[in-house]
Amino acid sequence: MKLVVLTTRTLHHTYFVQELAKMFSVNAVFVECKTNKPSFETHHPFEDQRELYEREVFFGNKAVRLEDFSQVIEVETVNGADSVAKLRQLEPDVIIVFGTGRLRADVINACPDGIANLHGGNPAEYRGLDSHLWAIYHRDYENLIVTLHRVNEQLDDGEIILDSPIHIQRGMKLHQLRRFNTEICVQLAVLGLDMFKQQGRFISRLQLKRGRYYSFMPAVLKDFCKERFERYTETIA
């Protein structure tokens, strides 16, 4: 089974590829370098805490790179003509998408039946960016879930392959949440790849509802998220 990952260069994406490579041969990782930046401030101090926390938890503060686990192909955007051409040359059986922008038809058609996206959230309620943060902002803690779904040209709209809630622990801090999200992403990807390997396809179900689209969360709203989430986790038995 020829496996390709489409992602960006972050600590949690590097951890994801590291763990996937322990169980499957990852033929290539396409790293999208161009990122969309909003006109307003989005950075919050909890994200600096998150960086330090993930570096310690995932890698024991060691320097680890995507190149340690697979061939890495850096592209401005995975939708670019050069990227699509390289992807087609690889002839992947499965593509796992984790953290890129919306994919165009050319990318999807390189592996139409074997492309799946990991979405941090419940797409029936929250599509787009910062889905877990938006759920927390709305005090909607039941929708802190992770979803593996098929990819179409709409955003977070494909049929559901697998999903799982994040186990929120008493006293958990907001900077720790992405770590647990990523660990579930690994679990869902492994289960999905095993399914594809055994069945020759992803078994999926229709989304019964199309959630609201959310964009970047402004930094000022992240103050509320941090306060609300950490107040909530203190109440967990």
Using alpha carbons only, give the angle 2, 185, 93 rounded to the nearest 5 degrees: 15
**Structural domain count of the chain:** 1
Distance between CA atoms of residues 197 and 176, nearest Å: 32
pLDDT score at 150: 97
DSSP state of 39: S
Residues of the chain with pLDDT under 50: none
Say what the alpha-carbon torsion angle 138, 139, 142, 143 is, to the nearest 10 degrees: 30
**What pLDDT score was predicted for residue 35?**
84
Domain that includes residue 105, residue range = 3-233
- Provide DSSP, 207-233: -SS-PEEE-PPPHHHHHHHHHHHHHHH
pLDDT, residue 153, reads 86
Q: Can you give the pLDDT at residue 237?
A: 86
Rounded to the nearest 5°, which phi and psi values hold at 68? Answer: -70, -15
Nearest to 149 by CA among 139, 136, 158, 141: 158
CA dist., res. 121 & res. 154, Å (int):
16
CATH of the domain at 125: 3.40.50.170
d(CA 4, CA 22): 14
The whole-number pLDDT of residue 74 equals 98
Q: Each residue of 17-33: pLDDT tens digit?
A: 999 999 999 999 999 99
